[in-house]
Chain A
Amino acid sequence: MADIAYPIAERTLPNGLRVIVSQDRTVPSVTVNLWVKVGSRDEVPGRTGFAHLFEHLMFQGSANVASGEHFSALMGVGGRLNATTWFDRTNYFETVPKGALELALWLEADRQGRLLDALTQENLDNQRDVVKEEKRQRYDNAPYGHAMRDVYATLFPEGHPYHHPTIGSMEDLEAATLDDVHAFFATHYGPNNTVLTLVGDISPEDGFAAVEKYFGPLPPSAVARAEGSMPPLAPLTGPVRLERSEPVPNDRLYLAFRLPADATPEFHAVGLAMDAIGGLSSSRLVEHLVRQERLVTGLTAHPLGFAGGVSLGLISADISAGVDPADVERAICAELERFAETGPTDIEMESAVAETERAWLSALASHDDRADHISHYAALHDDTAYINTFLAQVRAVTVEEVRAAAARYLQPSSRAVVAYLMAPGPIADEELS
């Protein structure tokens, strides 16, 4: 198929803000997308959950913007907006009619540069409560809600930046003071630690000028995070496991693996391996365990790409009623061993690449998602044009590279297993020690 070629123009302002413009005039709107290079991996012990709490505070007003006004001002002129926090970054984004682009940039510049003037104890207390409810809703009050926390804690060693989840601990949030919040902003927020992408109905020249107008005056105030500073983390050398007895509807197994960092040839190769092993509907594990043996009612396998020296590969299986999870685990391990020896078939390679192609094209179909992908790879991998080159990189991966990546990263002996096993009773909320 033809290669994709979205236009990409880039400029770095004197204060360090990296600006990327990708013009697309099919719709009269513009997406503004910022990636700030701070995430839960930058949190220190005793202050987990801070990056995410901070994301909430960014909607509570700044020097020239009242609390909640960021939302209402943009929504009232046809803006859709939000923000999210993850291990490697915090992103802020809005899609607005093109005539509201300057307002969006003005609002962003005000909170990215002048937040602390408006930050109050009252806002902090309120958003701390909101975040607690977010945690209860998404994690404490959901079946398997703490499974990913357990996966991170089991796969990554104590003290590793990916050991704790983004939501953090409520005790740490409880201890947060206004001084902490001020220090966090001063350290991490500033144009020299941020990438700003515009996608939509705007030329590069006009986009650069508009960003420069509102962000240019901000000083390079952050301690810019150097990417590539986290050392690689080798695969586990022996299996580790954590079992929980919980009131879940069925037994579920998570098998997690340490993978290479995102946006590397080895990561692409191991991603294709995971597709062939369990990610595709026609994959080996789905064919054997779901369709033929019916040992599981559902199975997924996919890589989660991180930037800091290691990524996460996850296989999860919902165990059929009456089936011993140990049998399923053995079957998965046996298939991993076989795959590491023989590698993928040509049809498996063809399928994994074709599915990757469709998924990638779909992911770039909207201005908002395209902008987010551009910011992602510019901020974390210094590769502004990655959206255009990713598919060629994936197609260049060979059968042998897929086999070798599986042999290195997806061995049964390198697995971390988290098992959620059915038990009657109320949902527990004990923290992992």
Chain B
Amino acid sequence: MTGVPQRTRMSAPDALPRPDVLVPQPYELPVPTRFRLANGASGLAYDLPGQYVLSVRLSVPMPLRVEPRDLEGVATIMARTLDEGTARHTSVEFARLLERRGVAIGCGVGDSGLSVELDVAKHHLAYGLDLMHQCLAEPAFPAEEVARQVSTRLAEIEQERSVASHRAAAEFAATFYSPVGRSSRPVGGTAETVAAITRDAVVAFHAEHVAPAEATVVVAGDLAGLDVVAELDLSLGRWGTPDTYRSPGPWQVTPRADDRARIVVVDRPGSVQTELMIGAPGPDRRHPGGWAPYPLLGFLVGGSPTARIDAVLREDKGYTYGIRSTFRPRRRGGVFITAGSVRSEVTGDALRLLLDVLEHGREGFTQDEVDHAAQFLVLTAPSRYATADTIADEAASLSFDGLDTGFTSRNLVEIAGMDAERAGAAYREFIDGRWTVVLVGDAASFLADVQALGRGDVTVVPN
């Protein structure tokens, strides 16, 4: 380096011996207080001393198959318009009411249902809950706000199409799931269906599908001196079930495409990288063999720079900034996803190596590998679940599945005692060499290499 005076480097003395690590005490996630509100909603309260911003999460289970086929995305538009005006306040007034006390409300829809999130400083809890109640019980869905959310979603669809990872996820869903199932299409709808959404459609959808009867509300944070149940009874507890409400009924297995085991290339000429998404069926949380092996397997195979995948593709080959694997449970069934990006010209070799690593797992894992992954997952839990929002998010996410954080604690115990044989068997149960592969990139620069791998049909589609 220029401009630096010449100097003699001071050398460090030899290091002390590597210190031993003291084994930590066993850990359980905080245990909630359970209650039920007058309107039937279930409640969980987690007291986390020192967490001065409280996190409130409301989960309303709702399978997206209840959306009319020609209006898919209506649940998303409905959710995004909940806080854009109520019976008492215009959209602008409502935004101001929230922000004058630093109250953050977010509403969204995933494949399990509607989520409403409230983050609020402890001393403004009652104020925040009142506004959250207004969003749920008396949304006005002003026509101009619905129209604006439709425009915004249409712009977002184009933005998602332009981002390689989003584009890959959309093509993966379309390839992996049967076209008869809602899961094969975007949660937020397509341009055609979103453009058809009107205020009337939003109002009708809300009236039929949003109610407290099967909902769960979670409150997490420093609850000292607060009567959370009383606060909720005065707010969300007064949210009633409309006569028009229809229970979603039993959850169904998401049908997979018969021809899901194939390679699809989304052609983006000039792209300097290829986004890869590789998937196979996986378990849900109620899998008869237990859920516990799967977080561990995802981590062991592709959860860190030293996991099996990045040990080869990043640290040995330098093909990627990082590729991650994870088992994602859904209400019924699940999916094992591996995703990341590599530079265009090595796409063929990277795919070969990736499939090799993934399939090599069928031969099993060493007890050392399993122990290492188990230690990470179990011993990081206290700090991963240390804040109000992380506990609330975990509890809310599990509530869609009729579970709570006791499930997480029980899994940690099972993970801690995992033996390599069980882990290997759990992996083999799902990984059979039949993969759905999506590659988003410059087809001309790698198509021949990918075809030469002999891993099945290769289809090229436009971006």
Contact = CB atoms under 8 A, between A and B. Distances in A.
A342 interface: no
A365 B10 contact: no
Contacts of B270: 425-427
A291 B51 contact: no
B463 to A, nearest CB: 10
A390 interface: no
B321 A68 contact: no
A217 interface: yes
A226 interface: no
Interface stretch (A103-111, A156-164, A263-271, A402-410): A103-111
A280 B375 contact: no
A367 B383 contact: yes
Interface in B117-167: 119-121, 123, 145, 148, 151-152, 154-156, 158-159, 161-164
A127 B315 CA distance: 8
Interface stretch (A182-190, A306-314, A325-333): A182-190
B1 A180 contact: yes
A140 interface: yes
A179 B20 CA distance: 35
Contacts of B110: none
A383 interface: no
B271 interface: yes
B120 A358 contact: yes
A320 B155 contact: yes
Nearest to A31: B383
B448 interface: no
A303 B441 CA distance: 35
Contacts of B20: 103
Contact of B53 (A106, A184, A365): A365
A419 to B, nearest CB: 17
A358 B119 contact: yes
A29 B382 contact: yes
A298 to B, nearest CB: 7
Contacts of A125: 318
B47 to A, nearest CB: 11
A1 to B, nearest CB: 6
Nearest to A6: B50
A187 B4 contact: yes
B422 interface: no
A236 to B, nearest CB: 28
Interface residues of B, number: 92
A223 B10 CA distance: 11
B386 A366 contact: yes
A77 B375 contact: yes
Interface stretch (B97-105, B202-210, B397-405): B97-105
Nearest to A181: B1
B252 interface: no
B266 to A, nearest CB: 13
Interface stretch (A147-155, A242-250, A374-382): A242-250
A219 interface: yes
B98 A95 contact: no
Contacts of A359: 102
A362 interface: yes
B35 interface: no
Nearest to B388: A365
Interface residues of A, number: 101
Output the residue of B27, B52, B384 with the most chain A CB within 10 A: B52
Contacts of B101: 354
Given A28-B24, A281-B98, A361-B52, A106 B18 contact: yes
Interface string B380-424: 101110111100000000000000000000000000000000000
Contacts of B151: 294, 297, 320-321
A344 interface: no
Contacts of B2: 44
Interface string A283-296: 00011001100100
Contact of B24 (A47, A97, A127, A287): A97
B379 A44 contact: no
B289 interface: no
B152 A77 contact: no
A84 interface: no
B94 to A, nearest CB: 9
Interface in B415-452: none
B271 A427 contact: yes
Nearest to A187: B4
Contact of A26 (B50, B145, B318, B320): B50
A99 B96 contact: no
Contact of B19 (A103, A221, A281, A347): A103
A304 interface: no
Contacts of A220: 10
Contacts of A214: 16
B225 interface: no
A128 B315 CA distance: 11
Contact of B376 (A1, A63, A78, A95): A78
B162 A249 contact: yes
B18 A68 contact: no
A311 B12 CA distance: 37
A243 B257 CA distance: 45
A134 interface: yes
A129 interface: yes
Contacts of B376: 75-76, 78-79
B95 interface: yes
A76 B19 contact: no
A78 B155 contact: no
A187 B100 contact: no
A29 B386 contact: yes
Given A297-B151, A425-B270, A106 B16 contact: yes
B85 to A, nearest CB: 10
Interface in A214-249: 214, 217-221, 223, 247-249
Contact of A130 (B13, B304, B321, B379): B321
A361 B15 contact: no
B319 interface: yes
A59 B305 contact: yes
B249 interface: no
Nearest to B384: A80
Nearest to A134: B321
Nearest to A281: B95
B29 to A, nearest CB: 12
A186 B5 CA distance: 11
A219 B11 contact: yes
Given A27-B382, A297-B151, A426-B270, A133 B158 contact: no
Interface in A23-49: 24, 26-29, 31, 44, 47
A398 interface: no
Of A44, A137, A249, most buried by chain B (CB within 10 Å of CB) is: A137
Nearest to A362: B53
Contact of B341 (A127, A133, A354, A356): A133
B48 to A, nearest CB: 7
Given A129-B318, A183-B4, A320-B155, A64 B18 contact: yes
Contacts of B48: 26
Of all A-B residue pairs in the complex, the 5 with the closest CB atoms, nearest first, are A78-B379, A426-B270, A129-B318, A99-B22, A354-B102
Given A106-B16, A109-B15, 16 more contacts: A1-B121, A1-B123, A28-B25, A68-B315, A76-B375, A98-B24, A133-B319, A136-B341, A140-B273, A218-B12, A221-B9, A223-B7, A282-B99, A321-B154, A347-B100, A365-B387
30 contacts: A26-B48, A28-B24, A68-B305, A75-B306, A75-B375, A76-B371, A78-B380, A97-B382, A103-B20, A106-B16, A133-B273, A133-B318, A136-B343, A141-B273, A186-B7, A187-B1, A223-B7, A247-B162, A249-B155, A250-B158, A250-B159, A282-B95, A287-B95, A291-B145, A294-B148, A351-B100, A358-B120, A358-B121, A366-B383, A366-B386
